[in-house]
Structure 1
Amino acid sequence: MSKSFPEPKPAPPGRQRAQAWTSYWASGVLHSCAGSFAGNYGAPYREFWREVFAGLAAGAKVLDLCCGNAPLSKMLLEERGDLRGLVHLEAVDAAEVAPAWVRALPPGQREMVRVHPGTDAAALPFPDACLDLCMSQFGIEYAGLQAWREAARVLRSGGELAAVLHHVDALPVQIAHEELEHLDWLERPDGLLPMTEAMIEPVARSADPAAAPALRADAAANASRRAFNACQEALRRRAASASHPDVLHEVGQASFVVLQTARAGGLAAGRAAMANLREELSRTRLRQRELVDAALDEAALRGLCACVGSTEPELQVLRFDGNRIAGWAIRIRR
């Protein structure tokens, strides 16, 4: 039975959250764990999805839920090249996403992948029982119980909900926990961010050679410089002992960029650069906090499955080489 789909219509949820994720996706990263995995998702995720995609036939209608830059849709077309131009893909995300790879598809294929930006997963713009597969990777667990109910609503009889989800003990969750601790350290009163802010004014003054004598005699400026240098040294020690130090390295480098901006462009430019850095770190904190909060143990996952009428979902724990947990994988058939 053929059912037409409505045109994509934005339905933005919480403004701050949507802005944080819109900014992230606009950077061009393909998926939400770019700090953990380069490129598109590889093993063991791809093996799971290869099995899911094997059941699709020409004419299938597929929903990529909480899609981000739609790495799953991209993976589907890579794994099932025989379905290019023959499978209907609808990709939904709360953020204002516009995946570059979709725009680059050739005519005849591009029209089969429709992206719905600014769309709430808890209020999908699709009729009942119209889809063969609803898929999500590190997405639906962020969206709340109603998103699961909506996924069940739009699946036809015989359709499938398949998802990879954050596991409370998985590597991406461990990274998020550690990065939140690093952000707390950077932002504490004697941390690198406040010490960088204190250096903006003296560095801006240092651009004027005539100000050099007064600056050398400025006790407050000298104290700020010593505190900033001490923070940079503490950051290097912390990064050397950290399992996941990326955010430390990035902020350490960004602090120098802020001060270079102040010297080259003046006090206002330095303060604007600092405000931009704080805003980006605030968005990073929001995304990492959401990741941690979205992670599921087995009881919570089975509870979600039961709420959509599945008492016997196919559950498995995906693992990397070395037995480290990568996430949950579930399959629910209607």
Structure 2
Amino acid sequence: MKKNRAKQVWMSVLMLIAILGSSLGGVTAFARVMNVEKSGSLTIHKYLNPDITPIENGGGGFEGDGTSGTKLPNGTTNTGNGETVPLPGTEFSVFGRLTEKELGQLLDSGTSYDPIDPKPLDTLKVKQFMDGKTADYKGVTNEQGQVTFGDLPINTVDLADNLYLVVETKTPTSGADGKPIVQQGSMPVLVNVPSTNPATDSSKEVNNYSYDVNLFMKNYNQLEPEIGKTIDKTTHSIGEEVKYTLTISPLSFDMNEYQELEVTDVLDEALNFEALGAVTFHLGNAKDATITMQPGTDFIVTTPNKGENGTIK
């Protein structure tokens, strides 16, 4: 009996070694599964960052990675120290978990939500979505520029079923000295709770989850557009055609909320008007993407009579 027991123990050890050996190879055998019995939390961070030009206006901006250790501009972290100052008194409204139908109301036709590479939301669609709805969660940032929404339910293993819309619904616009604090608040965003954990998820495969998600919302400093004039050549003879281009930049990233953009140019008395050329709209997020606009169809144009000077509008 002792001999058989020793053999049984030895075989168990061999089996254990075999199992350990299979898990020490180059490929992990088991991916971590979302814990549907766990609840999540969303902490929103809001900072005063007046010197940061947003990506949409050609700047570098800054991006969070969903963790509390996100590096902010000037090497600071989310502790609120350094030049990146916490911004209390900002109200955020959270809607979710979004159904497939609700998500469709927020996205442009033919597009889908990609948690790895989310796209900015159309602010008009967000306003229409919010109309008549009550936020599931609402809170105001504290002195550290943070507000936390806890006990968010998780009862499905699909990220698409754990999607929330975050909207900045009240922004501090002026300080004690009366000077503006924020020109324009954060853009609305979609966020997963839980989200994929960037610290352990090196590929696009969902194999790990962060249940306490940190979201860093950016202020936007709206730049006033400037009009530049470029003439085709430096000198012209009397009676010669003069060609020039007006460039209006930067345009607001939320142009869809504006009713009109009006541009005027007054011709010099020495010039007579001949004809208006093409008007081209350049998309800010793609340098080579342009839209050619036609007078009378896409915009209204007022010009002097041919052979006369005056105002072009």
Could you tell me the TM-score, scaled by structure 2's length? Answer: 0.23
Which structure features the higher share of strand residues?
2
Structure showing greater Rg: 2
Higher helix residue share: 1
